[in-house]
Copies of this chain bind each other. A is one copy, B any other.
Amino acid sequence: MTALSIGKGITLDSAEEMETTLRTIGATRYHSLHPFHRLLHGGKLNKGQVQAWALNRYYYQSTIPLKDAMVMTRFRDRMTRVEWRHRIEDHDGDLGSEGGIERWLKLTEGLGLDTAYVESTEGILPATRFAVEAYVHFCRDRTPLEAIASSLTELFAPNLHEERISGMLKHYDFVNPDIMSYFSRRLTQAPRDAGFALDYVKQHARTPAEREAVCNALIFKTNVLWVQLDALYYAYVDGQIPPGAFVPKAS
């Protein structure tokens, strides 16, 4: 594998070979492996660093419905849109019922961040914004098959979320189950979504070239996630906060 693609020497003559490769990508490139997550889940960060993570990740979370609406613009098939629409509902909620974005704001508020500041996204790292916007543009500009394939990181999310819930509750006295409700809810939502997307790409990627595009879309997406943690590590662990970005209060 290269930074951008599966590279040479991997055969993708069947849907099963493709799934094996997708799972290899997850096992080697999903951001569960990133050093920042080891610090986060192992109780090694201070509250300001956890705030920085939640603040930046809000931009990703709040952009997901825009990304999913973009995916919907790619499908003339009504039933694919109907299936995809529930992702937007999961994140946006409805009049009088909360969605994933509001649950994320419970987390940032529970961590002591001002909600208006979080929603303004003015304190996030430029690298966060670029990575998240690259994801939306990918879903606009690539094939519909690749747009769906780029969601496949959800295959690997439940393990990460379980590790996060237990690790953060164990190690941080400023974390409680209520503010972690985003992750507990995703434990049931993500497998359904990932199952649909995996079935879709296995059914619709019919040539080795299409299967390769699916695998490379997943690599692209793992990069979108990884880059965000690199930027957090550099800014808030190494302490090189760029101009204008969130500065934790001394505690």
Interface residues of A (CB under 8 A from B): 62-63, 65-66, 69-70, 72-73, 75-76, 78, 81-82, 85, 88-89, 92-95, 99, 101, 136
Contact = CB atoms under 8 A, between A and B. Distances in A.
B66 A72 contact: yes
Nearest to A75: B66
Nearest to A83: B95
Contacts of A95: 82
Contact of A85 (B63, B73, B82, B88): B88
Given A66-B73, A66-B76, A82-B95, 4 more contacts: A65-B72, A65-B81, A81-B92, A85-B85
Contacts of A73: 66, 69-70, 73, 136
Stoichiometry, as copies per complex, reads 2
A173 B78 CA distance: 31
Give the interface SS of chain A, mostly helix, strand, loop or mixed: helix
Contacts of A76: 62-63, 66
Kindly name the residue among A69, A82, A93 whose own CB sees the greatest number of chain B CB atoms within 10 A.
A69
A136 B72 CA distance: 13
Contacts of A82: 92-95
Given A82-B93, A82-B95, A94-B82, A88 B65 contact: no
A89 B86 CA distance: 11
Nearest to A84: B69
Contact of A72 (B75, B78, B88): B88
Nearest to A93: B82
24 contacts: A62-B76, A65-B72, A65-B78, A66-B72, A66-B76, A69-B69, A69-B70, A69-B72, A69-B73, A69-B81, A70-B70, A70-B73, A72-B72, A72-B88, A73-B73, A73-B136, A78-B101, A81-B88, A81-B92, A82-B92, A82-B93, A85-B85, A85-B88, A85-B89
Contacts of A78: 62, 65, 92-93, 99, 101
